[in-house]
Amino acid sequence: MKIAVVGPGAVGSYYGAKLAHAGQEVHLLLRSDYDAVKRHGVFIHSPDGDFNVRPKCARTPEEIGVCDLVLIALKATANDQFPLLLPPLVGPGTAVLTLQNGLGNEESLAKLFPVEQIMGGLCFVCLNRTAPGVVRHTAHGMVILGEFQRWPEPRTHDIASMFRNAGVNCKVAENLMQAHWEKLVWNIPFNGLGVAGVAGYEALIDPLVPIGPRASLGPVLTTDKLLADPRWENVVRELMHEVIAGAAALGYKIDVSAVDKQIERTRTMAAYEASTLVDFAQGRALELDCLFLEPLRQAKAAGAKVPRLEALCRVLQQINAV
């Protein structure tokens, strides 16, 4: 397949490199990393084995042209760039697959392309970009694929097989939105509290506690720190149960046993920094809307009571504004 990767940061570079290593024709749409990747390729450092690949590199989508598959790994804060970046890559038969976090990304794509071309993918992986064209993969890596507003199609299973042939554990979701909410059970507490914790426990509990300038806030709370402190672990659990309640109000049933399972799985990650923590540490805007605010809006609209999620969103909005 001819594949374009739009937004080759940690996630895009890792999965693009895995597909290229398996022999697929992969094109990376690059900006600041162009020279480094063009010269040296992409390096993946992983407990599964290190490797280096040299995918095709481009600075503009026009250089790549129409593809069979477009993988979108942009930060959701850059979704306003879809009309500029995507049309030159997409023809009538192109599958457009977003690997972005949170809710609303497929809806943004549906403003540009027919529903039947749009897919969503959820990446359960621990990795970070450590330098231009260099990704450190530490654990996991499964991808769950689904069709937007449709049942799985033959092409859904074909693309899943392509990922599996590249050494990526890949499953097909019968219901993409159900899968999104299942991932939010982990993403909301560990991405959100990791950053909100810099303002202190009291700021999350008491809406009257002021939050100082962003530059004066403390270090982020990695997964191990959140689970080492009983106060934070309790908030993690409360948020997980609220996300499950929000999903249930929308008709997506998630078993409460997922709380204990996900916490125990997270303990194996050691001091992992989720993507929102990395964005905060590097001074970038946080992915608030898709990852936190849209789930809050949908849960409340469905009648769910989510006070801890409301408090988390309030703190994150204040941090993001300074």
Please list the active-site residues.
Answer: 183
* Cα–Cα distance for residue pair 77/36, rounded to 1 Å: 25
Q: Report whether 192 contacts 132 (CB < 8 A).
A: no
> Residue 11 is encoded by which pair of tokens?
């996630």
> Residue 7 is encoded by which pair of tokens?
């937004």
Place of tokens 């010269």: 39
> What is the chain's length?
322
Angle between helices 176-196 and 307-321 (to 10 degrees): 60
> Residue 283 is encoded by which pair of tokens?
């001074």
* Cα–Cα distance for residue pair 191/291, rounded to 1 Å: 9
Provide φ and ψ at 166, rounded to 5°: -90, 10
- Going from the C-alpha of 116 to that of each of 81, 95, 140, 175, 254, the distances in angstroms are 21, 8, 30, 15, 27
**Helix%, strand%, coil% for the chain, nearest 5:** 50, 20, 30
Residue type, position 204, single letter: L
